[in-house]
Amino acid sequence: MDKNMLYRSIPKVDLLLEDGTIKQMIAIYGREMIIEAIRVETDALRKYIGQCTSEEAAMEEIALLPKRIEQQAEKLLQPNMKKVINATGTILHTNLGRAPISANHMQHIAEIATGYSNLEYHLAKGKRGERYAHFEELLCKVTGAEAAIAVNNNAAAVMLILSTMAKAGEVLVSRGELVEIGGKFRIPDVMEQSGASLVEVGTTNKTHYADYEKAITEETTALLKVHTSNYRIVGFTETVPIAQLVELGEKYEIPVIEDLGSGVLIDLSKYGITYEPTVQESVASGADVVCFSGDKLLGGPQAGLIVGKKKYIDRMKQNQLMRALRIDKFTASALEVVLKEYLSEERAVKNIPVLQMMTKPLAEITKEARRLKQMLSKLKLDAEIRLEPCQSQIGGGSLPLECIESMAVTIKPLHMTTSELEESMRLLPVPVVARVIHDRIFLDVRTIGTENFGYLKQLQNIERLTTA
Ligand SMILES: *Cc1c(COP(=O)(O)O)cnc(C)c1O
């Protein structure tokens, strides 16, 4: 076998660029991308020939070069960030993007993003407007607050609040609330960044009204209450309710700030879920400023929402930091359409995916699970498929102890291990992320969504799942 002859048969780059098929590719992908693809594929071809033992196979591979170049160019264009099927049952999965936005809402957001909009333009006055104006009144209406603003995320909200209201002063926080929320958000660290100094009061499990009062000095600029979103201290515990902190704040004329984390706007206990303090309740208790995430239980885009007394919000709008933390047009329009749903609780529960998933009755989930099982059974997979009860979780650092009864389609592969199957599912063109419980794949139907059932047909493309 004459390897030199084979190497010589690989067309040179300038010749390839003159080729009709390649020219067509250049028209689609652009010259630089095709040159890059040619380089990658001719290198791979040389390597292949080097190891190849059959001249025929090598010639075949050389003939395939234009096709490989096109595939390579296609690959270079493929976004790395892609749609994933969340079969984990964790509704607010931070690694999988937290709250999904509904397709209906997205239509409007896409319209805003693909063209020009009145983002910062007051149409009636024909003058510069404010990007927060599109949802400020709405946010005030649904929370009962005087004024509102939004920043990039809730971590940024806490930073802006402290930097505006407590800079160079002392902020009192209960030792039981010095939390770390995933992704390295630690209350003491954020406090340091903002320039405020932290004064810890009470103990890990118990903090009393008197503990706060004792710690108040001339330097105290704020009382901060942090909702311990992602963990619970149970047993011998005591915290000071926001209403009492407000009393203390009024007595000493010190503003009270509450970081609620999740930001629930509806009473979840009506739907069989543990009651979470709502934003309205915190505002009604008299907290001066309340902040919460846009993409946790609110079910909207990533954002940090700040509501409260106008005099404080106005000062935040003037803060230089605001320019660095401001939201973009995608977020502003998403916040507006999602918050509009909260004008009626019924609409919110029906139209916001996170609330929809959380409140869907088990009977309905079970019906959907039967349908999915039937669909998977028809694929004749080399696996045992069952319907099994499971528990969905809220996730995203919200309601850590909450489990919602749910139904899963479970899979036990017969000719590969469960963990091999779990990995193969993650590597599908539209990846399926699932949990492994007792050596079975659990597909929790609550977070998959019936509109995504079709994607699970990809399972038949997993080699060792269909060898029978
Ligand atoms: C989640 C959370 C944050 C951080 O919110 P992001 O929107 O993720 O930045 C801050 N404080 C509390 C109490 C939280 O639960």
Q: How does DSSP assign 25-50, residue by residue?
A: HHHHH-HHHHHHHHHHHHHHHHHHHH
Phi, then psi, of 305 in degrees rounded to 5: -100, 135
Q: Residue 375 has what pLDDT?
A: 98
| Ligand 1 binding pocket, CB closer than 6 Å | 153-155, 181, 185, 226-227, 229, 259, 261, 293, 304, 397
Q: In this structure, what token pair is assigned to residue 402? A: 């909450």
Q: Tell me which residue of 413, 271, 410, 233 sits closest to 352, measured CA to CA.
A: 271
Give the β-pairing of 147-151 and 220-226: unpaired
- Taking CA atoms, 132 is separated from 122, 149, 202, 306, 317, in Å, by 12, 6, 38, 11, 10
Q: Tell me which residue of 202, 241, 244, 196 sits closest to 222, measured CA to CA.
A: 196
Q: In this structure, what token pair is assigned to residue 76? A: 């270079």
- Ligand 1: residue whose CA is nearest its atom 1: 261
The SS3 of residue 256 is strand
Q: How many CA atoms lie within 13 A of 342 on its CB side?
A: 27
Q: Residue 20 has what pLDDT?
A: 93
Q: Residue 183 has what pLDDT?
A: 65
pLDDT less than 70: residues of the chain: 182-183, 229-232, 467-468
Q: Residue 234 has what pLDDT?
A: 73
The SS3 of residue 400 is strand
- CA 415 to chain CA mean position, Å: 35
Residue 259's beta-bridge partner residues? 226, 291
Phi, then psi, of 88 in degrees rounded to 5: -75, -20
Phi, then psi, of 335 in degrees rounded to 5: -60, -45
Q: Residue 145 has what pLDDT?
A: 98
- Ligand 1: residue whose CA is nearest its atom 6: 154
Are 259 and 277 a contacting pair, CB within 8 Å?
A: no
How far apart (Å, rounded) are the C-alpha atoms in residues 380 and 428? 18
The SS3 of residue 217 is coil
How far apart (Å, rounded) are the C-alpha atoms in residues 381 and 415? 10
- Give the distance between the most distant pair of CA atoms in the chain: 94
Q: Which atom of ligand 1 lies closest to the CA of 157?
A: 9
Tell me how far the alpha carbon of residue 228 lies from the centroid of ligand 1, in angstroms: 10
Query: Which of 293, 306, 331, 399 is the pocket-test mutation for ligand 1 (most atoms within 8 Å of CB)?
Result: 293
Query: Which of 95, 173, 179, 181 is the pocket-test mutation for ligand 1 (most atoms within 8 Å of CB)?
Result: 181
How far apart (Å, rounded) are the C-alpha atoms in residues 321 and 311? 17
Q: Residue 154 has what pLDDT?
A: 94
Tell me how far the alpha carbon of residue 405 lies from the centroid of ligand 1, in angstroms: 26
